[in-house]
Each structure stands twice: as structure tokens, then as C-alpha cells.
Amino acid sequence: LMFTFVGGGASCKLLGCSESQVFSVADFGTNYCNLRMLYCGSEAGCRPVAHDFGFEELSVKHSFGAGHDPSKCLVTTSPPQLA
């Protein structure tokens, strides 16, 4: 994972990159989610650990076969009900 922060007044720009260490055609969004979960705030349904801030994704560039679906990043399941 690599992040670059660029300041600008009351806001900043975050540039990030996550790359598989092996050949991965269909990563199912793993690299995208690795990055997103580090900056995702409560407005997007995430639970920040220390600081909660808003964000807007302006651009996502991915390799062939890689996913970038935010709904796949934070998936929860209910525990099985005992009979």
C-alpha cells in the first residue's frame, strides 16, 4: 500500500496505490478495499478507529479484471440462529 497526501486549504487530496505481489487478474476488489477501508468514514457506513472525516472519490484507476465496488468492501453477516 502506498499513500500520498497533498494539502490544499481546508481539505487535502489522498492518492493511493495497492498492488498484488503475484499475478492476479480477478482480485475481486481486494486491492481497492485495502485502500478504501483505511480512509472510509461513518458517512459511508464504516467505523473509524481514531478520526472520522468525509471523503469523495474522484477517480479510481484499476488494472484489467480488478474490481472497485465499495459495497463489496464492508460486508457483514448475521451469526447463525440456534434452534
pTM of the model: 0.71
Round to whole Å and give the CA distance between 57 and 76: 23
Give DSSP secondary structure letters for 16-47.
EE---SS--S--TTHHHHHHHHHH--GGGT--
- Cβ proximity of 15 and 1 under 8 Å: no
Q: What is the full per-residue pLDDT of the chain (83 aa) written as tens digits? A: 888 888 878 888 888 888 777 766 667 788 888 888 888 889 888 888 888 888 888 888 877 777 888 888 877 777 777 76
Distances 57 to 7, 31, 70 between C-alpha atoms, Å: 16, 15, 11
pLDDT of residue 17: 85
